[in-house]
Chains A and B, each alone.
Chain A
Amino acid sequence: MSTGELVGFKSYRARIEVKLKSGYLDPEGETSRKALVDLRYKVNRVGTAKVYEIDLQAPSLEEAKRQVDEMCMRLLANPVKDDYAFEVKEMK
């Protein structure tokens, strides 16, 4: 898809958060937790997540959401270990 304006298409911005499903080991989170404890914070758990901000064009909000969901399934998240959530907004 080109980045220019397409006839009948609107611009949307998606914010996607990909994080580990509960019960899966999060070594980055655990390392951060230990470092925070060393800094004398009373931290019980740290969970890490990855955030993607994606600007895309689609004919409707529903279609934009469908595509973003597909992007998560096909590339951004590994369904074995990742959960994902997203919101899509029309860009003014």
Chain B
Amino acid sequence: MKEPKICILRVGGTNCDAETKAAVDDLGARSEILHLNKLMDDKLMSYDALIIPGGFSYGDHVRAGAVLGKKVSSALSKELKKFVEEERPILGICNGFQVLVESGLLPAFDGVSDYPQATLAINGSARYECRWVYLKHENRGKCIFTRELQKGQKIFMSVAHAEGRFVFPKEREEKYLQKLEKNDQLVFRYCNKRGIYADGRYPINPNGAFYDIAGICDSNGTVFGLMPHPERAYWGVQLPDWTGMKEAPKYADGRLIFESLVEYLKH
């Protein structure tokens, strides 16, 4: 069985790289945390997958993810294009999702776009939202990162962001939503404890995202971005109420995302 080699990209302000590494390594992958500057010279192509973890890259200046998004697309444009074309998986978590949207890698309706086709705007609550939320899995099977989940399955993960309100250009909202659904690019939507969609309502939808969108993938299903943090919901002891349980489960729901990725890479 192949031991997948995963690159976890780091720059100043990244702060979820260690948890992400711990998660994928626990599943039998061999990951390396690499600074963007060390990824030059075609090095990216020696990895099977790329993860852009959470944090506040470049201090969230300009807009969250904007600076790293442009740096990634200018410094690694050729390799990145090849990486995507070869369907090597790219996962963007929180700030990483913002980077994928800013760099045009998501939603990428007609291939990687020169300019963003969506944005993760400031939360409707105008504050940093750091807590646990429920998500409903929407994907019909294209997204390789959620193969261990059933369609309609509800999972529990934490969010931690100030800029997570997913929006499309107002005039193209409906058209783009149809595209997401048609291409099977919709992956997670915010819902309540019983699995009913938030329908924009706060606090179930923590940021006011359009259509309660928490995560989307590209039309190949190999580039995936989400606002919640699966690496903060990997072990049972990361659950907010584990001390009140008779016996904490070994793992939590976030593991399913990494498990799907590692299993995909192994085969």
Interface, chain A (partner B; CB < 8 A) = 21, 23-25, 27-28, 30-31, 73-76, 78-81
Contact = CB atoms under 8 A, between A and B. Distances in A.
21 contacts: A21-B170, A24-B121, A24-B167, A24-B170, A25-B121, A25-B124, A25-B165, A27-B125, A27-B126, A28-B122, A31-B126, A73-B115, A75-B62, A75-B67, A79-B115, A79-B116, A80-B116, A80-B119, A80-B167, A81-B121, A81-B167
Given A27-B124, A75-B62, 17 more contacts: A21-B170, A25-B121, A27-B122, A27-B125, A28-B126, A30-B126, A73-B115, A75-B66, A76-B62, A79-B169, A80-B116, A80-B117, A80-B118, A80-B169, A81-B119, A81-B167, A81-B169
Interface residues of B, number: 23
User: Which 5 A-B residue pairs are closest in the complex by CB-CB distance?
Assistant: A27-B126, A80-B119, A31-B126, A78-B119, A80-B169
Contacts of B119: 78, 80-81
Contacts of A27: 122-126
Interface string B123-137: 111100000000000
B63 A78 contact: yes
B127 to A, nearest CB: 8
Interface of B: 62-63, 66-67, 70, 102, 115-119, 121-126, 165, 167-170, 208
A23 B63 CA distance: 19
Contacts of B63: 78
